[in-house]
Structure 1
Amino acid sequence: MPGSDLYEKFMALHTRDSGLVMPNAWDGLSALMLADAGFEAIATSSVALAATLGRADGRHEITRDEHLEHAGLLGRLTELPINGDFEDGYGDTPEDVAATVEAAVEYGLAGIGIEDTSGNPRQPIRDFDEAVNRVRSAVDAAKRRIVVTGRTDNFIQGRPDLDDTIRRLTAFAEVGADVLFAPYPPDLDALNAIVTAVAPTPVNVLVSPSDKVLTVAELQKAGVKRISLGPWLYVHAMGALEEATKALVAGDLASAATGISFDRVGELLARSKN
């Protein structure tokens, strides 16, 4: 599907009344399972991808090419729109961010997220002007061929400043970001303030505000247009694995050998478009 057509298709999912629930896959089988369940788009998770490779997220330990190959695989297997959770755009400069966006278009991605993170634990959030310039560069490179999400990580990097968060998101929208995202606002009031301040630009929420997990309907009532799961499906699966390993350590082979059947795995793999 040509880039401009894919852009329009993916954006339409964000602007319809019902919005979009966009779960995050971490490998081929999880992507096929989500597609089989009827989800209309899926995303990568930088946390989950890094964990599958035994690395840390947000510290530039995953390369752009590794993430592109991963995202491209999910797209080839499912033929669904894929949104790439691409950390800070994989580069020190706005030009590097533009190169990442261009590569994502070439790999057939439908969307890409650009964070204001730095990968530096001593100063995890980039200065305002730098963050805005990087999103501007992403938008300029995208040319309406791929949906650009401008994201600020204030709340998850120990900077609980709602005013600065809204300032950043508003600036990202002003330079052309298609979707806005600030993971884990403290509560529903903060979420409502964000949605109102940046309207009509669609807002993504990662599961819910920090204080309470809401339902999809409650988030939609608050004006949220896209709901993502980040690493939560992955850690849910890892939780099941940990319980199985505990059973195995205790000598309980039966409990450790539960899960979906090999027939179900084969059925999912058979729907692969690869």
Structure 2
Amino acid sequence: MTTADDFRALHERPEPFLLPNPWDAGTARLLAHLGFPALATTSLGVANVVGRTRATRAEILANVREIAEATPLPVNADLENGFADDPAEAAQMIAEAADAGAVGASIEDHTGDRATPIYEFGLAVDRVRAAVETARQRSVVLTARCENLWLGVNDLSDTIKRLQAFEEAGADVLYAPGLRTLEEIRAVVSSVGKPVNVVMGFADPSITLEQLAEAGVRRISIGAALSRLALKSFVDGAREMLAGRFGFVGELPPITELQQAFD
């Protein structure tokens, strides 16, 4: 089996799998060492590395290559909206991500325009259809994302309508960032036939893996949450240092733990 076959098979298991989001080679190797079965990039995590909240197209593709080369695990690429409105142009980024080593990729219906943040329904579906065509040519697992909820468009019915249309257009995995409750998650999962990814960076953190499995979720990611957690630890330590205290040094993991993952 190829790495792409392995990644597709993870979505076909009866239980959900955890898909964490590293942001560089080091974090990718740490996650692989811990035993995760696959990895996903995070565009916000990439942006954070360079001190911004938005990464460029080139930076995202370079990060896909870096993470894909860091471990033998399957990699799913967060490609935002493909950095293009036109369906064919957006789909081209999927081909480039595959060239960089990704075996999965996502496409969003988020325009990047604050005035009109979501693509019109027909264009959104056309974009997924073009992405599916490219993904199939490259043996890439295609995730279609509806961005309504996290952008403040609190319309679950429209979100479900879009996901159903994306499924009909051929998407392999469906994803609606911003689902917060088990009830919302169950409503989405029960409305479609393809595997659903839930990102726990937005959801109620008290929801357990067992509850997600019971709801029928097949893939669980975390978005940029691990990156943000790392930055919080960094800032907390720096503030403690400014205050003239160094207690955080006593909480550092042994260097041998890093050596085991990196050597």
The alpha-carbon distance between structure 1 residues 254 and 212, as it changes in their structure 2 partners (threshold 3 A), is: closer
- Looking at structure 2, the residues matched to 166 and 266 of structure 1 have their Cα atoms a distance apart, in angstroms, of 46
Partner of 2:9 in structure 1? Answer: 12
Instruction: Give distance in 1, aligned partners of 2:206 and 2:89.
Output: 36
What is the TM-score when the length of structure 2 is the normalising length? 0.94
Cα deviations across residues 155-179 of structure 1 (Å, max 9, x unaligned)? 0111110110001000110011000
CA shift digits 1:42-101 (9 cap, x unpaired)? 1111111111111223xxxx2322211111111111111011111101222111122111
* Mapping 1:140-219, distance limit 5 Å: 140-143=133-136, 145-199=139-193, 201-207=194-200, 210-211=203-204, 213-219=206-212
In structure 2, C-alpha distance between the alignment counterparts of 1:248 and 1:53, rounded to whole Å: 23
Aligned pair count? Answer: 262
Equivalent position of 1:55 in the other structure = 52
Judging changes above 3 Å, is the alpha-carbon distance between structure 1 residues 37 and 210 closer, same or farther for their aligned structure 2 residues?
Answer: closer
In the TM superposition, what whole-angstrom CA distance separates every residue of 1:198-255 from its partner, at most 9, and x where no partner exists? Answer: 12x0000001764453111110110000000101111111221122112101111343
**1:137 aligned residue:** 130
Larger mean CA deviation between 257-266 and 144-153 belongs to 257-266
Question: 1:267 is matched with which residue?
Answer: 260
Matches within 5 A, 1:63-78: 63-78=56-71
Q: Please tell me whether residue 38 in structure 1 is matched to residue 69 in structure 2.
A: no
1:87-142 C-alpha deviation (Å, 9 max, x unpaired): 10122211112211111121220110101001111111111111111111110011
Q: Which amino acid aligns with 2:189?
A: V
TM-score by length of 1: 0.90
Match of 1:118 among 101, 111, 117: 111
Q: Is the 8 A contact 2:201 2:225 kept in 1?
A: no
Show CA shifts across 1:15-40 (max 9, x none): 10122100000111111110000001
SS of the aligned residue for 1:92 comes to coil
Q: What are the residue-to-residue correspondences of 1:71-110 with 2, within 5 Å?
A: 71-110=64-103
Matched residue type, 1:167? K
Question: Helix, strand or coil for the counterpart of 2:18?
Answer: strand
List alignment gaps of at least 5 residues for structure 1: none
**1:169-203 superposed Cα distances (whole Å, 9 cap, x missing partner):** 0011001100000012242222111101112x000
Contact in 2 for aligned 1:203/1:225 (Cα 8 Å) = yes
Share of identical aligned residues, percent? 37
Task: Give the Cα–Cα distance (whole angstroms) in 2 for the partners of residues 9 and 165 of structure 1.
Answer: 29
Give runs of ≥4 in structure 1 deviating > 6 Å.
none
The separation in 1 between residues aligned to 2:184 and 2:63, in whole angstroms, is 34
Contact 2:29 2:70 in 1 (8 A): yes
User: Equivalents in 2 of 1:43, 1:120: separation in Å?
Assistant: 25
Q: Does the aligned pair in 2 maintain the 1:24–1:42 contact within 8 Å?
A: yes
> What is the CA–CA distance in structure 2 between the aligned matches of 1:49 and 1:216, rounded to whole Å?
27
SS of corresponding position for 1:238: helix
Say if 1:245 and 1:256, in contact at 8 Å, map to a contact too: no
RMSD value, Cα: 1.7
In the alignment, residue 149 of structure 1 is paired with which amino acid?
T
Query: Given the superposition, is the C-alpha separation of residues 92 and 209 from structure 1 closer, same or farther in structure 2, using an over 3 Å criterion?
Result: closer
Distance (Å, rounded) in 1 between the aligned partners of 2:199 and 2:64? 19
Partners of 1:248 and 1:256 within 8 A in 2 = no
